[in-house]
Structure 1
Amino acid sequence: MDIRIENWKDNLKEPKPDYQFGDHVHVVDERFYMPQLDKYRQVWIYLPKRYKDSNKRYPVLYMHDGQNLFHAKPARNDEWAVDTTVDNLIREGLQEMIIIGINHGEEDRLTEYNPYDSENGKGEGKAYASFIVDTLKPFIDQHYRTLPDVDNTAIAGSSMGGLITLFMLTEYPAIFGSAGIFSPALWLAPKIYDHVAKRLSALKSRKVFFVAGDKEGNEMIDNVTKVYKLLNPDDKNENIVFIEREDGKHTEWFWHREFESFYKFIAE
Structure 2
Amino acid sequence: MRKIFTLMFSLVFISLQAQVTFVIDSQPSNTPAGDNIYIAGSFNGWNPGDTNYMLHKNANGKWEITLDGFSNGYVIEYKFTRGGWPSVEKGANGEEIANRIFTFGNGETVSIPIENWADNPPEPPGVSENVMVMDENFYIPQLNRYRRITLYLPPDYATSDKNYPVLYMHDGQNLFDASLSFAGEWEVDDTLDELADQGYQVPIVVGIDNSQYRTEEYLGFPGGDGDAYVDFIVETLKPYIDSNYRTLSDRDNTGIMGSSFGGVISLYGALKYQNVFSKAGLFSPAYWAKTDVLNNYLIQTGFQHDIRFYQNAGEYEGQQYIDPMNDMENNLNIQGFQNVSSKVISGGNHNEATWASDFEAAYLWLFNPVVNTVENAPEVGAISISPNPVRNVLNLNTDLKFGTARANISITSLDGKGESIILKDANPRNKIDVSSLAAGVYLIRLEVNGSAFAGRFVKM
Judge same fold: TM > 0.5, yes or no.
Answer: yes
- Matched residue, 2:260: 159
In the alignment, residue 206 of structure 1 is paired with which amino acid?
I
Cα distance in structure 1, aligned partners of 2:335 and 2:277: 24
Residues 71 and 83 in structure 1, CA contact (< 8 A), matched pair in contact too:
no
Q: TM-score, normalised by structure 2?
A: 0.50
Find the aligned partners of 1:93 and 1:86 in 2 and give their Cα distance: 11
Counterpart AA for 1:129: V
Q: Match of 1:232, SS?
A: helix
Partner amino acid, structure 2, of 1:152: N
Contact 1:21 1:73 in 2 (8 A): no
Match of 1:243 among 343, 367, 381: 343
In structure 1, distance between residues paired with 2:268 and 2:181? 32
Matched to 1:188, the amino acid is A
2:204 to 98, 104, 117: 98
Which residue, 343, 356, 365 being the options, matches 1:256? 356
Post-superposition CA distance 1:98-143 (Å, at most 9, x none): 00000000x22111111338xxxx9411000000000000000000
- C-alpha change, 1:93 and 1:103, in structure 2 (3 Å) is same
The structural deviation recorded for 1:77 is: 4.5
1:48 counterpart residue number? 154
Question: Could you give the per-residue CA deviations for residues 166-213 of structure 1, whole angstroms, max 9, x where no partner exists?
Answer: 00000000000101000111122130111112333225x211100112
Partner of 2:296: 194
Mean CA deviation greater in 65-74 or 182-191: 65-74
Between structures 1 and 2, the one with greater helix share: 1
Larger deviation: 205-214 or 127-136? 205-214
CA contact (8 A) 2:303 2:335 kept: no
Q: What is the aligned partner in structure 2 of residue 16 from structure 1?
A: none
Unpaired segments ≥5 residues, structure 1:
1-8, 10-18
Q: SS of the counterpart of 1:141?
A: helix
Superposed displacement of residue 49, structure 1: 1.1
Q: Compute the displacement of 1:232 (Å).
A: 2.3
Q: Is this contact kept in 2: 1:65–1:103, CA < 8 A?
A: yes
Question: Distance in 2 between the 1:248 and 1:266 partners?
Answer: 20
Q: Assess if the C-alpha contact under 8 Å between 1:95 and 1:267 holds in 2.
A: no
Q: Is the 8 A contact 1:113 1:123 kept in 2?
A: no
CA contact (8 A) 1:68 1:78 kept: yes
Q: In 2, Cα distance between the equivalents of 1:74 and 1:181?
A: 22
- Aligned to 2:311, what secondary structure does the other structure show? strand
SS where residue 113 of structure 1 aligns?
helix
For residues 123 and 133 of structure 1, the distance between their equivalents in structure 2, rounded to whole angstroms, comes to: 16
Q: Which one scores higher on RCO, CA 8 angstroms, separation ≥ 6?
A: 1
Contact 1:116 1:189 in 2 (8 A): no
Matching residue's letter, 1:183: S
2:215 matched to 1:110? Answer: yes
Match of 2:250 in 1: 149
Query: 1:247 and 1:123, CA in 2 relative to 1: closer, same or farther beyond 3 A?
Result: farther
Q: Which runs of 5+ in 2 are unaligned?
A: 1-85, 87-124, 369-460
8 Å CA contact 1:166, 1:179 repeated in 2? yes
Q: Does the CA contact (< 8 Å) of 1:43 and 1:66 recur in 2?
A: yes
Query: Aligned in 2, Cα 1:235/1:202: closer, same or farther, shift over 3 Å?
Result: closer
Letter matched to residue 264 of structure 2: L
Root mean square deviation of aligned Cα: 2.5
Aligned pair count reads: 245
Summarize the Cα distance change of 1:67–1:35 in structure 2 as closer, same or farther, 3 Å threshold: same
CA displacement, residues 5-61 of structure 1 (integer Å, 9 cap, x when unaligned): xxxx9xxxxxxxxx9732210011000000000000000000011101111110000
DSSP-derived class of the 2:353 partner: helix
Determine the C-alpha separation between the residues in 1 that align with 2:171 and 2:300.
28
1:21-100 alignment, distance < 5 Å: 21-72=127-178, 77-100=183-206
CA distance in 2, matches of 1:44, 1:248: 27
Does the 8 Å CA contact 2:299/2:335 hold for their aligned counterparts? no
Query: What amino acid does structure 2 have at the position aligned with 1:146?
Result: T
Q: Residue 236 of structure 1: CA displacement? A: 9.8
